[in-house]
Structure 1
Amino acid sequence: MAELTCQFVRPDKLLYEGTVESLILASADGEYGVWPGHAPEIIALGDGVVRLHMPHPENEEESMTKIVISGGYAEIDPTGVIILADHARRVDDIDADVVRETRDDVIDQMLSLPEDDNRRAYYEKKIDWCNLLLKQVVEE
C-alpha cells in the first residue's frame, strides 16, 4: 500500500516524523482525510484530534497515533504532509491530574482580573485548551 511522509511539528518540538498510511486532520472546517496521491493543498487547522494511521503488516492490527491540536496549518502534497500546529500534545502524553490543576490555576488567575481586562481572553483560550486535552483522556 502507498504511504505518505509526515512531519508534525509545534513551535518547540518535533512530535512525529515518518510514514503514515493516511491521516485525519482536525481542520477549521471539520475533519479532513488525507491519503497518498492527495491534491496539493494548504489548510487551516482547528481544535481537535489528528489521527495518524501507521503502516502495519498484513496480519497485524492497525496502529494509530492521536495528537490533540489547537490551530496551525497543514501543507499537503501527493507524497506527504507537513503539519505546523500552534499547540499540540500526544494523547498518550496527557496527565489528566496535571491538566486539571493547570486549568484550576488559570481559572483562579482569570477570576482575579476585572471583567474588562484584556488578559481574560488569553486565560479563556488556555482554559479551552485544558478542556480539549481533558476531553480526549475521558473519551479514551
Structure 2
Amino acid sequence: MNTLQVNVVSAEESIYSGRARFVALPGESGELGIYPRHTPLITRIKPGTVRIQDENGDEQLIFVAGGILEVQPNVVTVLSDTAIRGKDLDESKALAAQKEAEEALKSAKTEFDVALAQSELAIMAAQLAALRKYRQKR
C-alpha cells in the first residue's frame, strides 16, 4: 500500500507522527488534498482541521490555528503554533475564548486591536468547527 509520513508539530510538542494514505487541510487558497508522491510544496495554512487518513483507513482530526505546510513526495509536515488533537478539544474553553475575543473587538481602539480580535475570532470559529467535525466522526 502506498503511504506517506505525516508529522504535525505544535510549538509545544509533536501532535501526530505516522504513516497515512491521505491528508486534507485548509490552505490559504482553499482545501488541499495530499496523496503519496505529491509535488513538493510549501504554503501557509489557515485555521481549521487537518484530516489524516492513517494507513489503517481510520481518520484522525487535528485542529491547527494556521501555520506552515511542507510537502515532499513521501513526507508531509505541518508546523503550527497551536495544534490540538480532536479528542482534546474543549468546547467550554473555546466558547470562553470566543466571547473574550468578541469583547476585545467591541472595545478595540486601534486598527491593530481590531485585526487582532478578528484573527482570534476566526481561530475560535475554526476550533469550534473542528470540534463539531470530531463529534460527527465518533
User: If each structure's helix is expressed as a fraction of its own residues, which one has the higher value?
Assistant: 2
Change (3 A) 1:37 1:28: same
Aligned to 2:36: 36
Distance in 2 separating the partners of 1:73 and 1:118: 23
Change (3 A) 1:108 1:6: same
Offset from partner CA, 1:25-68 (integer Å, 9 cap, x none): 21111111111122222222123221111111xxxxx2111112
**TM-score, normalised via structure 1 length:** 0.83
Contact 1:23/1:33 (8 A) holds in 2: yes
Distance in 2 separating the partners of 1:91 and 1:132: 12
Aligned to 1:98: 93
**Which contiguous aligned blocks of 4+ residues in structure 1 show a shift greater than 6 angstroms?**
none
User: How many residues end up aligned between the 2 structures?
Assistant: 134
Tell me which structure has the larger Cα radius of gyration.
1
1:120 is aligned to 2:117: no
2:98 aligns to what SS in structure 1? Answer: helix
Aligned to 2:129: 135
Q: Structure 2: 5+ residue runs without aligned partners? A: none
Q: CA RMSD in A?
A: 1.9
Q: Structure 1: 5+ residue runs without aligned partners? A: 57-61
Aligned to 1:80: 75
Aligned to 2:10: 10
2:99 aligns to what SS in structure 1? Answer: helix
**TM-score, normalised via structure 2 length:** 0.84
1:36 aligns to what SS in structure 2? Answer: coil
